[in-house]
């Protein structure tokens, strides 16, 4: 079966803590993502996302605090704005916008983190590998 | 090139069972920059840390990676170990292969492969990590305690006694909290007020404690050591500086308002103090019930107040305070009886909750300590106590155990027997949980000596029939259905966080757990701290707990604050933003995205600089910088890109 590769950019305060809670609660989920921990989801530059797709990711997950809960006041709103803008360009790069997910997952939502990982993995499986022109050419 | 050491922890079997730790170490050795790799059963133990320190020296390591549990747990442990061995602490990184790998996957092959990718990702970060020095910041040695129940009172007294100033904020007009409502306390049966009120008075009089009752937190900004707090002092319509507490206004007030303190079993005027021993003993006017505020006529209180303390023109005041640490002790509420549909949703007479029964038992309560039922004032001869009303019921209500109900229900039955000798108490329970010093003995005494009937089973339905409140339940030990036509029924309703907690945590930006209670930094080893520096937790806001535990936690939280204040200055994480002066185009986008005013335009250099003392390191301006001039220390764009590549299996 196709195993998609997922890069997960998680904020330290909410989503990475939620992922830790999934661990302490011993919830099981698909092992397709590797987490990269930032202080805030607003550290994610759209360039990082494009770079992840360039480097072989089939999906990118950004995890931040729920609206109103950002540890840095409004970082997650900036993230949302940046992701919305990037979504308008992804098509031009030949990337289905559903390969980029932005999820608000709090430190209390271990189960949500596990569900998102399972769900995203299944969705990417049904889509199949990302065939990016630049990657195909390099081959 | 940097020489990196990778230390892979087994964590007993916690990691090693799912992840092939030896293979992780072997594969790490193949990674660029890794000069040494080793696995060990408990890396955080003293022998484990010694191994790390020795290898740093022996192998001449420039940086280390500990592949183990979440950095929230042991990052500081290993950074301290690295420093002891002569490394800069920022040359130590944690690869989380437990919470985010071994504990969440079951396929050993896949988990091992993921663990290797996690280590490879952190290796890429570590290769480019700089040695950093913490940024010293000043500290305001004054604490804010939110919540004036026994937790907040105890914490305030402990901090104040050590010589530091405390602001104690309470939303009601008096401190005391739920403990002030209780009759006698288990297992010693000493009177709650007798042990609480001296502490209330001490807090009210302490030269280092500033009481701000009838006040709420409006805004909180800043960070550990330097918080700015805006407090709303609600209008009481009484000038407390003039009021001498004579009480004449309360006697004359013609309005009748249900007393929240007496759980609606009594009334007071629209101008009231919640209970006679209130601290401060000053009245407030409930604007929604006051006849003058509703109709524009009355002002009787004003007429009888000879010193002119009544002031209908008073408005909410806002005060701003600077504090260095915040203790959150906002306490609990109980699940409303109205939420429990099978128990009549609050429409059945003579069905009350445990706190209301406390008021019936209390010598200062509405019945002066005589047990009389609310509907007709009769002394109940048969009384049923229902435990776990809303607790331990994951399908419909709360999944957790409320912890205090087994003990207080036994206490209720016992005190009832002491007052109504020919009465018969029944207790429906699921399990009797009596963990605590003297608790089991207390329960045994009640069961054996006091003729309390314990029925093991849940109650299915409660309804009114004539003047009886009927309880249908099952005794699972005999397998029989039970019907009791009781005179009074008392529900041990679930302990829940206060409604206002959700709103407060948003202002404080601290975390709660799945049931809305405040989340501690570590459930076992850091139980009185929030994960967010500078915030400490005390009492039932963090989870259901009894008075001894609450007091212990409050003193623990106070001790943490005192230890924080004992330092000359605090050290701030230096992983902040910085600017490459040659690249900055002075577009100033960074200034607009910074939530802390840490980015400012330098007229002389004609670039935008970073004020390191203000920068919190969120990285938002780094992502916003159009020309790549702004970077984050130890999380630069080039680090992130190589981390991304490594996480995907590239190099």
pLDDT tens, residue order, chain A (139 aa): 899 999 999 999 999 999 999 999 999 999 999 999 999 999 999 999 999 999 999 999 999 999 888 888 889 999 999 999 999 999 988 999 999 999 999 998 999 999 999 999 999 999 999 998 877 777 6
Tokens (6 digits) for A120: 């995203």
Size of interface A-B (CB pairs under 8 A): 145
Q: Was domain B333-496 assigned CATH 3.50.50.60?
A: yes
Residues contacting B440, CB < 8 A, separation 6+? B434
Q: Topology of B4-132 in CATH?
A: Rossmann fold (3.40.50)
All residues of chain A having their beta carbon less than 8 Å from the beta carbon of residue B649 are 5, 56
Tokens (6 digits) for A31: 């092992």
B18 touches chain A (CB under 8 A): no
In the stretch 209-268 of chain B, residues with CB closer than 8 A to chain A read: none
Name the least confident of B165-179, B459-473, B523-537, B574-588. B523-537
All residues of chain A having their beta carbon less than 8 Å from the beta carbon of residue B650 are 55-56
Q: Best mutation site among B98, B99, B526 for testing chain A: the one with the most A CBs within 10 Å?
A: B99
Q: Topology of B142-234+316-331+498-565 in CATH?
A: FAD/NAD(P)-binding domain (3.50.50)
| pLDDT tens-digit map of B515-526 | 999 999 888 888
Count CB-CB contacts under 10 A for residue B268: 22
Say how far apart CA B161 and CA B349 lie, in whole Å: 48
B619 contacts A39 by C-beta, under 8 angstroms: yes
pLDDT at B579 (0 to 100): 96
Say how far apart CA B89 and CA B64 lie, in whole Å: 10
B368/chain A closest Cα distance in angstroms: 44
pTM of the model: 0.83
Which of A31, A39, A70 is nearest residue B111 as measured by Cβ atoms? Answer: A31
Count CB-CB contacts under 10 A for residue B174: 24
All residues of chain B having their beta carbon less than 8 Å from the beta carbon of residue A29 are 104-105
A12/chain B closest Cα distance in angstroms: 9
Q: Return the closest-CA partner of residue B628 out of B592, B587, B584.
A: B584
Domain-wise residue ranges, chain B:
4-132, 142-234+316-331+498-565, 248-304, 333-496, 572-633
| pLDDT tens-digit map of B76-114 | 999 999 999 999 999 999 999 999 999 999 999 999 999
Model confidence band, residue B387 (pLDDT cutoffs 50, 70, 90): very high
Domain B572-633, CATH number (from 3.40.50.720, 3.30.70.20, 3.65.10.10, 1.10.3720.10): 3.30.70.20
pLDDT at B346 (0 to 100): 86
CB-based contact B623 A43, cutoff 8 Å: yes
Tokens (6 digits) for B4: 């990196």
A133/chain B closest Cα distance in angstroms: 18
Tokens (6 digits) for B318: 């806002």
- The DSSP secondary-structure symbol of B130 reads P
Which of A24, A27, A43 is nearest residue B622 as measured by Cβ atoms? Answer: A43
All residues of chain A having their beta carbon less than 8 Å from the beta carbon of residue B575 are 39
Which residue(s) pair with B136 in the sheet?
Answer: B571
All residues of chain A having their beta carbon less than 8 Å from the beta carbon of residue B111 are 31
Taking residues B472-496, what's their average pLDDT? 95
CB-based contact A114 B99, cutoff 8 Å: no
pLDDT at B651 (0 to 100): 65
In the stretch 555-584 of chain B, residues with CB closer than 8 A to chain A read: 575
Q: Note whether B142-234+316-331+498-565 and B572-633 share their fold.
A: no
SS3 B454: strand
């Amino acid at each position: 079966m196709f195993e998609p590769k997922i890069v997960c950019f998680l904020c330290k305060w909410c989503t990475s803590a939620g992922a830790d809670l999934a661990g302490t609660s011993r919830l099981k989920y698909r092992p397709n993502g590797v987490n990269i921990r930032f202080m805030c989801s607003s550290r994610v530059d759209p360039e990082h996302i494009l770079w992840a797709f360039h480097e072989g990711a089939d999906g990118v997950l950004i995890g931040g605090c729920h609206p109103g809960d950002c540890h840095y006041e409004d970082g997650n709103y900036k993230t949302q704005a940046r992701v919305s803008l990037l979504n308008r360009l992804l098509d031009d790069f030949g990337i289905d916008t559903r390969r980029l997910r932005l999820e608000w997952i709090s430190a209390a939502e271990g189960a949500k983190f596990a569900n998102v990982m399972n769900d995203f993995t299944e969705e990417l499986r049904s889509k199949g590998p990302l065939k990016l022109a630049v990657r195909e050419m390099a081959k | 090139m940097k020489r990196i050491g990778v230390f892979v922890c087994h964590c007993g079997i916690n990691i090693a069972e799912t992840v092939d730790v030896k293979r992780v170490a072997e594969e790490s050795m193949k990674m660029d920059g890794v000069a040494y790799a080793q696995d060990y059963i408990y890396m955080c133990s003293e022998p484990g840390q010694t191994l790390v320190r020795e290898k740093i020296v022996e192998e001449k390591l420039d940086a280390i990676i500990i592949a183990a549990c979440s950095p929230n747990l042991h990052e500081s442990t290993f950074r301290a170990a690295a420093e002891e061995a002569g490394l800069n602490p920022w040359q130590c990184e944690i690869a989380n292969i437990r919470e985010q790998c071994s504990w969440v996957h079951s396929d050993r092959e896949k988990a091992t492969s993921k663990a290797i990718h996690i280590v490879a990702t952190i290796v890429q970060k570590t290769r480019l990590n700089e040695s950093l020095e913490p940024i010293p910041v000043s500290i305001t040695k004054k604490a804010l305690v939110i919540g004036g129940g026994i937790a907040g009172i105890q914490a305030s007294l402990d901090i104040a006694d050590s010589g530091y100033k405390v602001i104690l904020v309470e939303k009601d007009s008096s401190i005391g909290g739920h403990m002030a409502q209780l009759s006698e306390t288990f297992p010693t049966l000493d009177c709650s007020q007798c042990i609480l009120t001296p502490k209330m008075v001490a807090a009210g009089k302490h030269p280092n404690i500033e009481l701000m009752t009838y006040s709420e937190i409006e805004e909180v900004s800043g960070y550990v050591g330097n918080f700015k707090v805006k407090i709303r002092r609600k209008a009481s319509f009484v000038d407390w500086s003039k009021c001498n507490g004579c009480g004449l206004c309360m006697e004359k007030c013609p309005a009748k308002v249900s007393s929240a303190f007496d759980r609606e079993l009594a009334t007071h005027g629209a101008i009231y103090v919640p209970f006679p021993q209130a601290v401060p003993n000053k009245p407030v006017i409930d604007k929604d019930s006051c006849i003058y505020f509703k109709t524009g006529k009355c002002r009787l209180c004003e007429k009888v107040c000879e010193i002119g303390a009544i002031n209908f023109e008073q408005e909410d005041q806002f005060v701003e305070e600077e504090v260095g640490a915040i203790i959150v002790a906002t306490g609990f509420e109980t699940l409303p009886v109205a939420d429990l549909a099978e128990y009549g949703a609050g429409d059945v007479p003579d069905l009350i909750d445990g706190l209301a029964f406390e008021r019936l038992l209390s010598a200062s309560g509405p019945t002066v300590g005589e047990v009389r039922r609310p509907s007709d004032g009769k002394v109940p001869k048969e009384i049923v106590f229902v435990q776990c009303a809303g607790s331990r019921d994951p399908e419909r209500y709360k999944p957790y155990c409320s912890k205090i109900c087994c003990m207080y229900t036994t206490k209720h039955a016992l005190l009832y027997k002491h007052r109504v000798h020919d009465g018969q108490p029944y207790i429906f329970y699921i399990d009797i949980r009596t963990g605590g010093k003297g608790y089991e003995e207390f329960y045994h005494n009640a069961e054996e000596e006091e003729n309390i009937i314990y029925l093991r089973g849940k109650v299915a339905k409660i309804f009114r029939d004539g003047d009886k409140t009927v309880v249908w339940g099952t005794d699972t030990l005999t397998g029989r259905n039970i019907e009791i036509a009781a005179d009074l029924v008392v529900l041990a309703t679930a302990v829940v966080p206060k409604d206002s907690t959700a709103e407060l945590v948003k202002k404080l930006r601290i975390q709660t757990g799945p049931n809305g209670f405040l989340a501690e930094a570590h459930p076992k080893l850091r139980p009185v701290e929030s994960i967010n520096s500078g915030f400490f937790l005390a009492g039932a806001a963090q989870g259901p707990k009894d008075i001894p535990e609450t007091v212990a936690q409050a003193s623990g939280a106070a001790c943490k604050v005192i230890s924080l204040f004992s330092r000359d200055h605090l050290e701030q994480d230096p992983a902040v933003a910085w600017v490459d002066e040659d690249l900055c185009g002075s577009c100033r986008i960074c200034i607009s995205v910074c939530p802390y005013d840490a980015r400012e335009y330098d007229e002389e250099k004609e670039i935008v600089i970073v004020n390191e003392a203000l920068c919190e390191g969120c990285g938002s301006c780094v992502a916003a910088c159009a020309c790549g001039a702004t970077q984050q220390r130890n999380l630069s764009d080039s680090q992130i890109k190589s981390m991304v590549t490594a996480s995907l299996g590239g190099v």
